[in-house]
Amino acid sequence: MSSQDIPEENLPAGRDHAHGAVDVADHENPFANPGLPPHEHRIQDIDERAAKRSERVVALLFTVSMLATIGFIAAYLAIPNDKSIFVFPLGHISAMNFALGLTLGIALFCIGAGAVHWARTLMSDVEVADDRHPIEASPEVRAKVHDDFRLGAKESALGRRKLIRNTMFGALALVPLSGVMLLGGLGPAPGTKLRHTLWAKNKRLVNMNTNQPLRPEDIAVGSLTFAKPDGLEERAEDFQDQMAKAALMIVRLQPGNIKDKRELDWSHEGIVAFSKICTHVGCPISLYEQQTHHVLCPCHQSTFDLSDGARVIFGPAGHPLPQLRIGVDSEGYLQALGDFEEPVGPAFWERG
């Protein structure tokens, strides 16, 4: 149906006067303004039933967007992150990633499609020619902008099309929840696990190289040995996570060279055990100077004095290396007498 088939009094009022207006070319003005083509009214402009159908389509798209956002949240909470599914032609992929991508894509697409369909079928599509004007806004221009804004708001029918307005607000309000849910993907909250390691009372010290329990006679004066907790195997799934906290370096000093009383009390025959994890950014410490009893972090040169409670004597590290209290069991093997009393590695926001 075109505007020629509708009586003039039934056509919507608008700014159609600009359409079809042309200038005539002459010798003084060879480049005449061709004007705008005659405006053709849409079926929604002349038939309220068609407008209602378009309104329902837009509302349906916004409603589907809301349902997809709810589906996104449900998928994030319900689907295990290790579950996989086969999707042709992608093959085996993560079920959670597929569900999150699909639902979020539908939610965003439906908002965009609803907005486009709304603009193409219900908002005014009259083309208006406007002359250039100075950048500075005069009172007349500001008044015109306000009038144009009010006219645009009126032509959008946002106030009259309450179904569209309410569903659009609902869709726009729910979509940001997808981003909020994704914050959970940053990882589980650490809780108190950063404060504890696998070291516990009666846990034997095992040589990292030989994988054998250590005896005091295995450690010579001036030597540096690396140890791990008994029972922690390299094939374990969480081996790297556990070693990042439990890695231990063992040094044997002459008891008379130990300056710190607590360090001496927590040692066994001059054997001291300190965390191998630097308290600056968590690099593994491996450089030992036998004459000075200093250990050096290779990343940023933080230096610790193992004869004086592993205090920091140089570099950016903020606090000493934690010491592990050790002794020997009934079979003569070195064992821990508990866990570290403070968190190992870099300082963090929950350090007390």
- The pLDDT of residue 17 is 46
Least confident of 44-48, 150-154, 277-281: 150-154
Percent of the chain whose pLDDT exceeds 90: 50
Q: Are 119 and 213 contained in the same domain? A: no
| CATH value at residue 227 | 2.102.10.10
pLDDT computed for residue 283 by the predictor: 92
pLDDT for 154 equals 81
Among the candidates 126, 144, 167, a domain finishes at 126
Looking at every residue in the chain, the average pLDDT score rounds to: 85
Token pair for 67: 């349902």
What secondary structure, in 3-state letters, does 293-341 show? CEEECCCCCCEEECCCCCEEEECCCCCCCCEECEEECCCCCEEECCCCC
Query: What pLDDT is stored for residue 15 in this prediction?
Result: 45
Q: 215 in a domain, yes or no?
A: yes
Q: Which domain holds residue 285?
A: 203-336
- Per-residue pLDDT of 298-340, as tens digits, reads 999 999 999 999 999 999 998 899 999 999 999 999 999 999 9
- Asked, for residue 207, whether it belongs to a domain, the answer is yes
Contact 19, 38 (CB under 8 A): yes
| pLDDT for 13 | 52
CB of 214 closer than 8 Å to CB of 334: yes
346 within a domain of the structure (yes/no): no
pLDDT at 3: 45
Q: Is the domain of 209 the same as that of 116?
A: no
- Does residue 210 sit in the same domain as residue 97? no
> Can you give the pLDDT at residue 45?
86
Cα 152 to Cα 352: distance, rounded to the nearest angstrom: 59
Q: End of a domain among 97, 126, 155?
A: 126
Structural domain contains residue 183: no
Domain count, the chain: 2
Measured distance CA(202)–CA(21) in Å, rounded: 97
- pTM here is 0.51
Task: Specify if 288 maps to a domain.
Answer: yes
Decide if 350 is inside a domain: no
- Domain membership of residue 348 (yes or no) is no
Residue 186 included in any domain: no
Is residue 121 domain-shared with residue 207, that is, in the same domain? no
What is the band of 38 on the pLDDT scale with cuts at 50, 70, 90? confident
Please tell me whether residues 213 and 319 are part of one structural domain: yes
Instruction: Determine which of 27-36, 200-209, 244-253, 257-266 has the lowest per-residue pLDDT on average.
Output: 27-36
